[in-house]
Chain A
Amino acid sequence: MKRREALAKLTGRERYVDDLPLQDFLWGMTVRSPAPRGRVTAIRFGEDVDWSQFVVVDHRDVPGPNVVALIEQDQPVLAAGYVRHVHEPVLLLAHPSREAVRRAVRSVEVVVAPEPPALDFRITPTPEWIQYGTDNVLKRLQIVKGDVERALAQAPVVVSGTYETGAQEHVYLETQGMIAYLEGDVLVVKGSMQCPYYVLKALQHALARDGPLVRVIQTPTGGGFGGKEEFPSHIALHAALLALKGGRPVKLIYDRGEDMAATTKRHPALVRHRTGLTRDGRLLAQDIEVVIDGGAYVTLSPVVLSRAIIHAAGPYACDHVRITGRAMFTNAVPFGAFRGFGAPQSQFAGERHMDVIARTLGIDPIELRRINLLRDGQTTATGQVIRDGTDRLVVMEQALELSRYREKQRQHAAFNATHATLRRGSGLATFYHGAGFTGGGEVALQSRLRVAGRPDGRVEVLSANIEMGQGTLTVFTELAATRLGLAPEDVTIAEADTARVPNSGPTVASRTTMIVGALVERAADDLRRRVGLDDSARGAAVKEAIQRWHREHPGEGEPLFGEAAYEKPPDIAWDDKTYRGDAYGAFAWAAYVAEVEVDLRTCATRVIDFVAVQEVGKVLNPALAKGQVQGGVVQGIGWALMEECKWRDGAMANNQLTNYLIPTSDDVPSVRVAFLENPYPHGAGGAKGLGELPIDGPAPAILNAVARATGADPRAIPLTPERLMELLDGPASVGAQHAAPLR
């Protein structure tokens, strides 16, 4: 089935939040902190503005607790006399003219008595930097399997390495935006978001408004990638506060500069590996330390850290593993959810480290992986027994074949021996990604979903899971239509409006198709039973039964719907206290190969071929699935090679698309995609989660390729030309490794 809303998007008819008609409204804007840390001593309103024309909101206007409700209740809606990061919201302004409100924001001066900020998450904080607990550690987690110290002491070889990854900006093409207005007593907030019920909860909490007095509606969302997971709660609260005080609808749309400066990014990370092996490359012990920069508030950092450490050991069998994780407080703009959610950081380190091990031991990186890849019956770092029947060696072998890896290696050797200035190489990454919330998370979410039967016999899926480009509308349509034997035209997907749809959980964590999709199937079954049919009834019989039900229940009778609630598969168990057990219901498995060409004159790296092979359960919609992989790979190429946040006082200094570069069509090759299918019994139609997997693999595959092409030993991303030049030519370069390219 073709993407449902494709034509509306192609013709420009799809209406995003800034496209909606709105009458007699105010434009809202945010006044932000100029300093990373300190007491707000004064707020000066310029005399060149007639302030009587403006709605002005500060922290005293927050009716309930001044916090944006999330994991911890530590982040204020508006700073109350103290700021912890540059761009922290202090004041809100609204006015009928957008130009006037822009000028007014520039006329407000927030005066801060500065205090020493913590700006480097990698170093132990000095006493004057401590602002969270006794050591600025937002969260500490540990996974222990076996006895890593003893195994390391006895290992014939120990290879150590330290790896770093930078922040990444989401660059969803539609910036963040919200509209808020009162409809009678009901506060309505509409906008671009991934998690309508997160926004609802935050509004109810800080505005001290009862459930029915707040309604949240998702508008077509122009990309999210995690950036619209937790952040929209802030902008929704800001728009709502202005609308409540101003008594008129308020529209608050960030321009690109504000969006890049003030919203979350991917957590920077530092990962250290100490690995014990036999001389022929069998893993004996993995000691891994993962440190991430959380920024100035807790936000989602504890769960990002959780996913980072669970994925840190890679898809390999090892009896002795210790993974420690820390999320550090700094006075940076808070970091947040971004596709992959910690796993890309820890797997960049792990997969780059595998090639460092291979080079140290003098063995082939493929052979190293072949020896250690998980076989069915073996366990992950958390003790989860892998027994899904997928042959991970076949996944790798297919990637090698499709990329003609071995043949290319010979060609590269010949090319590199003769070419004056160009060097080519291929690199591999084998990796995995767990789908759904970690551990007991899915149980805690208690997701519910309905499929309603309409008087005309058509059905409507009522879910809080949203479309942001990844294909929810199309896949839910296909699932309901297939289950009930209906045509796709007989299925509609309800707008994600909290006044109508049950809470089927957030649209995150590669969970929508696999977990929520299964609720679509079960709610469809339930609907069929409620109209007196058994599970074999399909098509016209279902439509007629629904129509008959409505004829027999005329007027105001109870609506007809089938319902399903999440039920934990019986064969998975997780202990959050010990971090042991089944971290995820299912893992998707992948092997990616990047081929690069490095220009030794400019030190620019170009990816000239990319092969992405993955096993993701049953592929429900091949075209959409391929698009997810290709988009994720290109986002990963950007993170690996060009996307660099430049920091000034913990805030992004290059907050423009002019100097924060993302890949264009001319920067990347065609991404060649192949799927292996091994249906997952608990996923919708046999599917496993897919959305995040593709961003885990590109960065390590590309850096492994650069290492092979040039002989350099890059350990940090983004590997910009400047960084590679330092490695190849700089005084601090890696010495002996800067010799001739590997032959």
Chain B
Amino acid sequence: MLRPYGRPMAALSVSFSLNGSPVTVDVDPSARLLDTLRYQLGLTGTKEGCGEGECGACTVYLDGLPVNSCLIPTYQVRGQRVATVESLDPGALEPFERCGATQCGACTPGVVMTAWWIREHPELLGTHSIRELMAGNLCRCTGYDGIVDSVAEALRETGSGRRET
């Protein structure tokens, strides 16, 4: 029987930018960025859905790109920019509220992070549909119409919407 039970390795000190501010944490070499954010830095907006990069609930931006934080070892973000759902402007989320983007809310922060990234990169819609771009975020409640409509509406409001779905 395989028992990966080695001695804990010495903690690593990792410095990075978190939501625009410098932060330094001591972490186990095997620590996931998701756990560091949630349990060490108290940013519980980022959720764990599957722990294997399938559901997107733990989506954060790493140097501006959406990533699954359950798949990122914390030591890898040394010197990089990490942004979480807590960094978004709540005032701009009104279309998501209005169009039914959230029901139970467990996938929602990840959905919002991906949606926001699409909103900031409308040129993607020249080659991809919203449904394609959102396919990395699983939602079990909405059937996705509320999410897709919200993204389209957010794009429309920023004047950058091109393709509906």
Tell me the A residues contacting B by CB distance below 8 Å: 2-3, 5-16, 18-19, 21, 46, 48-49, 99, 103, 106-107, 109, 170-175, 220-225, 255-257, 468-471, 623-624, 626-627, 629-635, 656-658, 662-668, 670-671
Contact = CB atoms under 8 A, between A and B. Distances in A.
B105 interface: yes
B47 A173 contact: yes
A469 B45 contact: no
A12 B84 contact: yes
A399 to B, nearest CB: 17
B103 A470 contact: yes
Nearest to A220: B105
B104 A469 contact: yes
A562 B66 CA distance: 50
A670 B141 contact: no
Given A10-B93, A10-B96, A470-B103, A657 B135 contact: no
Contacts of A16: 47, 105-106
Interface stretch (B51-59, B73-81, B119-127): B51-59
B46 A12 contact: yes
Contacts of A173: 47, 49, 55, 57, 104, 106-107, 138-141
23 contacts: A5-B105, A8-B105, A10-B105, A11-B90, A12-B43, A12-B86, A16-B47, A103-B3, A171-B140, A173-B107, A256-B52, A257-B51, A469-B103, A626-B100, A627-B141, A630-B145, A631-B141, A635-B143, A657-B49, A657-B54, A662-B138, A665-B137, A668-B144
A48 B5 contact: yes
A224 B140 CA distance: 10
Given A222-B104, A627-B103, 16 more contacts: A7-B90, A9-B108, A10-B93, A11-B90, A12-B86, A12-B108, A99-B28, A99-B30, A109-B1, A171-B138, A173-B107, A223-B106, A630-B142, A635-B143, A662-B140, A671-B145
The 6 closest A-B pairs by CB, nearest first: A12-B45, A222-B106, A469-B104, A9-B105, A630-B143, A469-B103
B143 A13 contact: no
Nearest to B107: A173
Contact of B142 (A46, A49, A631, A656): A631
Contacts of A48: 3, 5
A295 B86 CA distance: 43
B105 to A, nearest CB: 3
A250 B35 CA distance: 18
B104 A670 contact: no
Interface string B124-165: 000001111011111111111111100000000000000001
A665 B144 contact: yes
A99 B39 CA distance: 13
Contact of A6 (B28, B102, B148): B102
Contacts of B63: none
B44 interface: yes
Contact of B45 (A13, A223, A256, A471): A13
B44 A222 contact: no
Contacts of B102: 3, 6, 9-10, 469
Contacts of A5: 105
B55 A657 contact: yes
A222 B104 CA distance: 5
Contacts of A667: 135
Given A173-B138, A173-B139, A223-B106, A10 B112 contact: yes
B143 A46 contact: no
Contact of A469 (B30, B49, B97, B105): B105
A11 B106 contact: no
B83 interface: no
Interface size grouping (class) on chain B: 35 or more
B50 A223 contact: no
Nearest to A2: B97
B46 A665 contact: no
A309 B156 CA distance: 49
A634 to B, nearest CB: 4
A634 B106 contact: no
A60 B42 CA distance: 37
B27 interface: no
Contacts of B100: 3, 623-624, 626-627
A10 B5 contact: no
A180 to B, nearest CB: 19
A506 B84 CA distance: 36
A470 B139 CA distance: 13
Interface of B: 1, 3-5, 8, 28, 30, 38, 42-52, 54-55, 57, 84-86, 88, 90, 93, 96-98, 100-109, 112, 129-132, 134-148, 165
Contacts of A225: 140
A631 B103 contact: yes
Given A10-B102, A656-B50, A15 B165 contact: no
Given A3-B102, A173-B106, A657 B97 contact: no
B5 A107 contact: yes
Give the one of B49, B104, B106, B140 with max A CB within 10 A.
B104
A10 B104 contact: no
A671 B46 CA distance: 29
Contacts of B55: 173, 657
Contacts of B51: 255-257
Given A7-B93, A223-B104, A662-B140, A256 B49 contact: yes
A103 B5 CA distance: 7
B147 to A, nearest CB: 7
- Centre residue among B42, B88, B101, B140 by max chain A CB count within 10 A: B140
Contacts of B45: 11-13
A221 B104 contact: yes
Contacts of A627: 100, 103, 141-143, 145-146
A15 B109 CA distance: 12
B50 A657 contact: yes
Contacts of B135: 664-667
B83 to A, nearest CB: 12
B106 to A, nearest CB: 3
A393 to B, nearest CB: 27
B52 A635 contact: no
A364 to B, nearest CB: 30
B116 to A, nearest CB: 10
Contacts of A624: 100
A631 B143 contact: yes
A12 B90 CA distance: 10
A46 to B, nearest CB: 7
B5 A172 contact: no
Contacts of A631: 103, 140-143
A693 B107 CA distance: 23
Contacts of A630: 142-146
A2 B45 CA distance: 21
A611 to B, nearest CB: 13
